[in-house]
Chain A
Amino acid sequence: MPRRVLIVEDEPNIVESLSWILGRAGFEVLVESDGAAALARIAGETPDLVILDAMLPGRSGFEILRDLRAGAATARIPVIMLTARSQARDREMAEKLGVDLFIAKPFSNAHVVETARRLAER
């Protein structure tokens, strides 16, 4: 059974590239571009992995991560956070909130796929 990954990202081109490489790696890819709807989507789908952009319209990735970790059903879902921002504080904050991996954009496709596999297997 293929692992399911939910990509929460608002940049269409990035969504397209991520979907393409993860799909090719055997994941079942779900996409959500609205921050406000992301949490409900995750809780509903219970994916094996969430790839979460930090800057989202509606709600920020950090808020979504915090609520994920607070919810009993979603607390254990692995999260990879992506960010295009330059601040070191973002990484600290994300790790404090319990992110599994924090990746700065632009990322290496191989790194994202390999990490996604590893985290989704757990």
Chain B
Amino acid sequence: MAANLLIAVATGYVALLFLVAFLADRRAAAGRARWLRSPVVYTLSISVYCTAWTFYGAVGSAARSGLEFAAIYTGPTLVFVGWWFLLRKLVRIGRSLRITSVADLLSSRYGKSPAIAVIVTLIAVVGSTPYIALQLQSLTLSFSVLAAGSGQEWPEAATAFWLAAGLALFTILFGTRNVDANERHHGVVTAIALEAVVKLLALIAVGIFAVWGVAGGLGAAFARADPQLLAQGQVFGERWVAITLLSASAVICLPRMFQVTVVENVDERHLATAAWAFPLYLMLICLFVLPIAIIGRAVLPADANPDLFVLTLPLALGREELALLAFLGGFSSATSMVIVAAIALSTMLSNHIIVPLWLAGQRGRHAAAGDVRAMLLASRRAGIVAILALGYLYFRITGGSEALAAIGLIAFAGAAQIMPALLAGIFWRGATRSGALAGVTAGSLIWAYTLFLPSFDGSFLLSAATLADGPWGIAALRPQALFGLQGLDPLVHCMFWSLTANVGLLATVSLLTGQSLLERLQAALFVDVFRMRAARAEPVIRRSATSGDLYTLSERILGRAAARQLFREMAAEQGRADALPEATPAMIERLERALAGAVGAASAHAMVSQIAGGETISMEALISIADETAQIVDYSRRLESKSRELEATAAELRRANRQLQEISAQKDAFLNHVSHELRTPMTSIRSFAEILREGDLTAEERQRFVTIIHEESQRLTRLLDEILDLSFLESGRVNWQLEPIDVEAVIDQALAATEALIARSGMVLHRAPRAEGLIAMGQRDRLAQVFINLVSNAVKYAQGAGRHIAIRTGRTATDIFVEVADDGPGVPPEDRFQIFEKFARARGQTDSRGAGLGLPISREIMRNLGGDLRLVPTRRGATFRVTLPLPQRAASVA
């Protein structure tokens, strides 16, 4: 076939794709994209899973290994049919949080960690590179094969280069028209859907031709099969299981699959259709793989590359138009994969590596003022070019020697390293950032060491010698027989070690490490995404920023129209018709989400934070604010308790003050009393002294007046003695030497002193029989003083009204007591409480002999002796009771 024709057809096909993409974009922009948003288009776009590897490689794989190829489609089928809940959760998370890529997903889940985003991006880029190279290789091969007939020399490297360049151009044109990943690439998706139809039709056409055109029926076709082919031992063996597993994780984790399944999803309900339609598509595309392989092996020469049977079979049988259709099918498969992968990977590269680096470089300057939008577009485009350049380089280094399926599986195994962290991220709240980092990193390193680097066959990083004998000749570290695990298929070997390390570390480290607050919030947001529907995640980060600045930022990232639309909506929600919305936390959070759609969560977060002019409240700050708040709460609680204490203290002080005032009043009253008691005798003394000085008195008068002066002087002295005595007794400085005393003897002493007084009063003393052995610890004279006072009082107050004074002694369990009773008028009830107060002479008592200090002094003496003096309530007369502790008790008191 003429090379020029081939190029013309290819170019024409690309032009058609352009047109479709362009029209779809136009319709979408005009809002008439209803048919674009059908589940069919969504399902067809998911078929980007079927790349050139499927188109060419499946047949090759079937020709080499029989049914093994089916494992590649079993995994995705199982996922879509059986694990739709996982996909639905991913789509829900992706849509509600405006996730832009699988790297963004993991970064966002693990506390908006830039480190995870970078690692996942690197794995994705490294893992996708062989895959893209695979597409370039298949395209180049198909060109070579088709053009071989024309006899023209076909330079493979140049073909691959121009293919890569062309694909980069197409991707840039349709993939980076807009920076918001969530505005979705309608044009690209539509073009890919078209390509999905073309590749399916082409493969079915070749299959029908092979079965009915060549073999003459299905039965005849299978009859030609090499019996060994279908009975290969590896089928349904460990390798088959490994590939099923890999393909299942690939359909979720591969950047391009995540892009079409989650990011480009316009309606969650489309998943329901895709859940059966995509497996159906896979089944249809696999339908003729085996027949084509069988017929190819039967018809074509033994040295023909089975990977190209789809192309060479019609060609060999002279059906050039069918070969051309097959070529277009393969072309569709390869280009669709490259375009979507480049879009997904460039978004990741740009959002997680280029933009953060650029932001870091801009720190200090007012970064957001720069033309972020232009920078973003440039970084996306640079990313696309870089990814295709990497693919091209890989293709050149490996020399395109590998079988297609093997290259594809390397990519799958790389993508599978993301799977544990992703699954854990959306189903296990406890998965931590450190766990995810450790798992993904370890798994990826093992993957690179045991599968990716060996794929260069010793031409890149790992030498052939290292591959054969291990680094430094250590056999245990041989990349494809790690720790002596020999005899396994390299893919199974890699999967075993990498996933063991990955899952093991993820689980172990997660269990051992804690989560930051933000991480915990995000974890809840992801794991409970279905429960979060009503109660949206509360904004946890509070900032203040002028809405003007934020508008400028949004304009630069989203474009003028989109930014204006967004701000108008936000203003309307706040009820502000013609003004900028207020920069409330809710508004900022929404804006951040909108920007996250364009630049990823971490970068949007960083940018909005930056424009907020350093008024960012980081998680740490937030936590410290929370801490401070807690401290303030604690402080105010302490203040409250302090103020309660103060109140209590104040009350105490008031009480004390009242007491002091009372004491002060008592002191005044006391001084008044003392003054009165002193002045009264002094008045008599002075007055009679003056009379005596006047002279002119009878001897009798003189005698009488001098006697009065003498009595009053004695009264004065006695008063002063009593005051001083009471003051001493009340001072607490009393330190008497106590001695055993016979109480009855002390009573004798007191009665001897009052005998004359009693006799003069005409009263009768009754003394109860003496109690023997009434020994107390005390002071003989002081105790006698008390008894004298009591007897004198009895005489003084009962005189006239009563006739008897009775003294009785006894003991209780603890005390010795002495009672002095009279049968006088007694103490009036209203005076009972104050008879022990100083100067509290009984009412109406005008006897000048007592100053009213006798009872207070007596009681103070008894208290100082460890006993007491009380008035005993009686029906008649007054009874005073003196108590003294029994000696053993007195000893313990002393």
A-side interface residues toward B, CB under 8 Å?
A: 10-14, 16-18, 20-21, 33, 55, 57-58, 84-87, 104-110
Contact = CB atoms under 8 A, between A and B. Distances in A.
B672 A85 contact: yes
Given A17-B687, A105-B680, 9 more contacts: A11-B684, A13-B684, A14-B684, A17-B691, A84-B678, A86-B675, A104-B679, A107-B683, A109-B690
Interface string B664-687: 000010011001101111111111
Contacts of A109: 687, 690-691, 694
B843 A57 contact: yes
A87 B679 CA distance: 13
Contacts of B675: 84-86
* Interface majority SS (helix, strand, loop, mixed), chain A: loop
Interface residues of B, number: 26
Contact of A14 (B672, B683, B690): B683
Contacts of B683: 11, 14, 17, 84, 105-107
Interface string B429-469: 00000000000000000000000000000000000000000
B735 interface: no
Contacts of B685: 106
A11 B843 contact: no
When A and B form their complex, which 4 residue pairs have the shortest distance between CB atoms, in order from nearest? A84-B679, A17-B687, A86-B675, A13-B684
Contacts of B843: 57
B712 interface: yes
B676 A84 contact: yes
B687 A57 contact: no
Given A84-B675, A85-B672, A108 B684 contact: no
Contacts of A16: 708
Contact of B671 (A57, A86, A106): A86
Contacts, number: 73
B684 A85 contact: no
Contacts of B629: none
A97 B482 CA distance: 121
A105 B712 contact: no
B664 to A, nearest CB: 14
22 contacts: A10-B846, A11-B846, A12-B848, A14-B680, A14-B684, A14-B687, A16-B708, A17-B684, A17-B688, A18-B687, A20-B691, A57-B844, A84-B676, A84-B678, A85-B679, A86-B675, A104-B679, A105-B683, A107-B683, A107-B687, A109-B690, A109-B694
Nearest to B848: A11
B697 to A, nearest CB: 9
Contacts of B684: 11, 13-14, 17, 106
A109 B705 CA distance: 15
A89 B564 CA distance: 89
A108 B676 contact: no
Nearest to A90: B672
B892 to A, nearest CB: 46
| Residue of B679, B681, B685 contacting most chain A CB atoms (<10 Å) | B679
Nearest to B711: A13
Contact of A13 (B672, B690, B844, B848): B848
Contacts of B691: 17, 20-21, 109
A90 B712 CA distance: 25
A11 B711 CA distance: 13
Contacts of B668: 87
B671 A21 contact: no
Contact of A105 (B671, B682, B708): B682
A85 B681 CA distance: 13
Contacts of B694: 109
Nearest to B681: A13
B672 A86 contact: yes
Contact of B690 (A11, A105, A108): A108
A40 B843 CA distance: 21
A13 B704 CA distance: 11
Given A106-B686, A107-B687, A109-B690, A57 B846 contact: yes
A91 B520 CA distance: 85
B680 A84 contact: yes
A110 B687 CA distance: 10
Nearest to B675: A86
A105 B688 CA distance: 13
Contacts of A12: 848
Given A10-B846, A87-B672, A106 B688 contact: no
Contacts of A87: 668, 672
A57 B668 CA distance: 21
A111 to B, nearest CB: 10
A55 B673 CA distance: 11
A20 to B, nearest CB: 6
A33 B690 CA distance: 23
A10 B844 CA distance: 10
A109 to B, nearest CB: 4
A11 B849 CA distance: 11
Nearest to A109: B690
B393 to A, nearest CB: 114
A4 B687 CA distance: 21
A107 B688 CA distance: 11
A21 B672 contact: no
Interface in B826-847: 843-844, 846
Contacts of B708: 13, 16
A17 B683 CA distance: 9
Contacts of A18: 687
Nearest to A10: B846
A12 B691 CA distance: 16
Contact of B679 (A10, A58, A106): A106
Nearest to B680: A84
Interface in B645-703: 668, 671-672, 675-676, 678-688, 690-691, 694
Nearest to A36: B844
A16 B680 CA distance: 13
A105 B675 CA distance: 10
A108 B691 CA distance: 10
Nearest to B684: A13
B687 A21 contact: yes
A20 B683 CA distance: 14
B175 to A, nearest CB: 105
Interface in B327-345: none
A33 B845 CA distance: 12
A91 to B, nearest CB: 14
B686 to A, nearest CB: 4
A82 B149 CA distance: 154
A88 to B, nearest CB: 12
Nearest to A105: B683
A20 B684 CA distance: 12
B712 to A, nearest CB: 6
Interface string B346-387: 000000000000000000000000000000000000000000
A85 B839 CA distance: 13
Contacts of A14: 680, 683-684, 687
Nearest to A110: B690
A85 B690 CA distance: 22
B842 to A, nearest CB: 11
A34 to B, nearest CB: 9
A20 B470 CA distance: 142
A58 B691 CA distance: 30
Contacts of B676: 55, 84-86
A33 B844 CA distance: 11
A10 B680 CA distance: 11
Contacts of B682: 105-106
Given A85-B675, A86-B675, A11 B687 contact: no
A55 B690 CA distance: 24
A107 B685 CA distance: 10
Given A86-B671, A86-B672, A87-B672, A106 B846 contact: no
Contacts of B672: 85-87
Nearest to A11: B680
A105 B679 contact: yes
Nearest to B678: A84
A71 B507 CA distance: 109
